[in-house]
């Protein structure tokens, strides 16, 4: 998702400037036009990685958004007017970034704006998908049902994300400690042994000489290596911030052995669940697809999905369109075809998401089970080689004495 600066003309003649996150400018422009705005300009904000930290400070995390929607749902179902609902929520959130945003939303609603329009002014804080869902609920007159579906969506997405983070946590800790142990040996322990052996005057074994020379080069060029690493990281961030760079990286992600399948399943599972949520809110299929594309978080897959949307606009079926772009497993495509035939597309999309998430969890379990011993073996071999190289002169001296 990228951040776009939009210049809009409202129905009352006012000129509005808003910053909204979206997958593609064409999708954002079409969505804004459908909402009744005249779009003067949609411009991608440059050098976004420089503002990532500031954007995160202004965004609302999933946990806060979930709590807000749960409170919103309970109070609306109780029959309270929207102004009293916002006042009651503000009493619980009396400080912080979220309360500041909510106060602005309340003032806009008090001035006569719809809740969705008031939320939309804070595009950095409230996801475009959420705002569109609220607008759909307002149109259908069943806002509680829309909010309930979005709560279920947030819980499921947050749950699968936590499972993936938990699966990767232990291997990441192992890698960190392995790196620290090897760095400590190379930069401090080996030079100490090298100083001892330098005064002995004896010819050192080849493996020991190679290790000492490697360590000497590392210590000599360590500052330069750090500068080069920082420069490479900045260059990479800048390149990935471009459309072509992001597209190339996202395409390569899908070709990584073992990992590519994980990336694909994670993206498609999130897309299917999002599409089911939006369709359940009463939004038409074409608009729902456009809104859900951004949840793939992969430029290559997004471009392929745009091709599918064009195919559906020309009268094609969703299952056929997704089969043409080849981003879903065969079983998921068959399930989707059944859902279209029986008129239960929304429920089938949820089942597809559940199926892919279960597959993802199983794949992550297998990968982490394999990665952990692999890290231990590699760490043991590297550390063992360093220790042997350092003690070879001692063994050689002992055999000479004997």
The Cα–Cα gap between 128 and 48 comes to: 18
Mean confidence (pLDDT) of the chain: 82
Residue 52 binned pLDDT confidence (cut-offs 50, 70, 90): very low
CB 1 within 8 A of CB 291: no
Domain 161-402 class in CATH: mainly alpha
**HSE value, Cβ hemisphere, 13 Å, CA-based, for 338:** 11
Residue 50 binned pLDDT confidence (cut-offs 50, 70, 90): very low
Strand partners, 17: 7
pLDDT in tens, 363-385: 888 888 888 888 888 888 888 88
At 200 the pLDDT is: 65
pLDDT in tens, 115-157: 888 888 887 788 877 887 788 788 777 888 888 888 888 888 8
Cα separations in angstroms, 157 against 62, 180, 270, 339: 9, 34, 7, 22
Q: How many CB atoms lie within 10 A of CB 14?
A: 8
At 231 the pLDDT is: 94
What does the radius of gyration of the chain's CA atoms come to, in whole angstroms? 28
In the chain, what are the domain boundaries?
Answer: 1-46, 161-402
At 398 the pLDDT is: 61
At 53 the pLDDT is: 43
The Cα–Cα gap between 62 and 55 comes to: 15
Nearest to 361 by CA among 160, 105, 187, 158: 160
At 182 the pLDDT is: 85
pLDDT in tens, 232-258: 999 998 888 788 888 899 899 888 887
């Amino acid at each position: 998702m990228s951040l776009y600066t939009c210049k809009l003309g409202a129905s009352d003649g006012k000129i509005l400037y808003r910053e909204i996150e979206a997958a593609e400018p064409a999708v954002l422009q079409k969505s804004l036009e459908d909402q009744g705005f005249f779009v003067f300009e949609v411009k991608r904000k440059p050098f976004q990685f420089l503002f990532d930290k500031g954007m995160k400070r202004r965004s609302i995390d999933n946990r806060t958004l979930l709590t807000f929607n749960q409170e919103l749902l309970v109070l609306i179902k109780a029959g309270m007017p929207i102004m009293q609902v916002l006042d009651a929520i503000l009493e619980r959130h009396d400080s912080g970034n979220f309360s500041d945003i909510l106060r602005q939303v309340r003032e806009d609603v008090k001035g006569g704006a719809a809740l969705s329009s008031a939320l939309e002014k804070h595009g950095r804080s409230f996801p475009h998908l959420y705002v569109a869902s609220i607008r759909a609920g307002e149109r259908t007159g069943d806002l509680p049902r829309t909010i309930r579906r979005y709560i279920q969506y947030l819980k499921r997405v947050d749950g699968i994300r936590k499972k993936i983070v938990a699966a990767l946590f232990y291997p990441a800790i192992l890698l960190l400690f392995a790196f620290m142990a090897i760095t400590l040996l190379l930069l401090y322990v080996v030079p100490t042994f090298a100083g001892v052996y330098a005064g002995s005057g004896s010819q050192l074994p080849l493996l020991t000489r190679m290790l000492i020379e490697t360590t000497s080069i590392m210590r000599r060029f360590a500052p330069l290596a750090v500068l080069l690493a920082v420069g490479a990281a900045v260059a990479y961030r800048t390149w990935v911030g471009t459309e072509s760079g992001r597209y190339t990286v996202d395409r390569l992600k899908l070709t990584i052995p073992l990992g590519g399948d994980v990336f694909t399943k994670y993206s498609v599972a999130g897309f299917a669940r999002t599409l089911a949520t939006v369709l359940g809110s009463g939004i038409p299929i074409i608009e729902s697809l456009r809104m859900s594309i951004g949840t793939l978080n992969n430029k290559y897959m997004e471009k392929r999905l745009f091709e599918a949307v064009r195919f559906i606009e020309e009268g094609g079926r969703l299952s056929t369109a997704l089969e043409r772009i080849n981003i879903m497993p065969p079983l998921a495509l068959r399930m989707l075809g059944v859902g279209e035939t029986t008129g239960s597309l929304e429920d089938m999309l949820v089942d597809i998401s559940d199926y892919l998430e279960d597959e993802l969890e199983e794949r992550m379990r297998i990968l982490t089970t394999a990665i952990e011993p692999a890290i231990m073996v590699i760490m043991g071999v590297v550390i063992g080689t360093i220790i042997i190289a350092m003690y070879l002169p001692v063994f050689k001296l002992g055999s000479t004495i004997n």
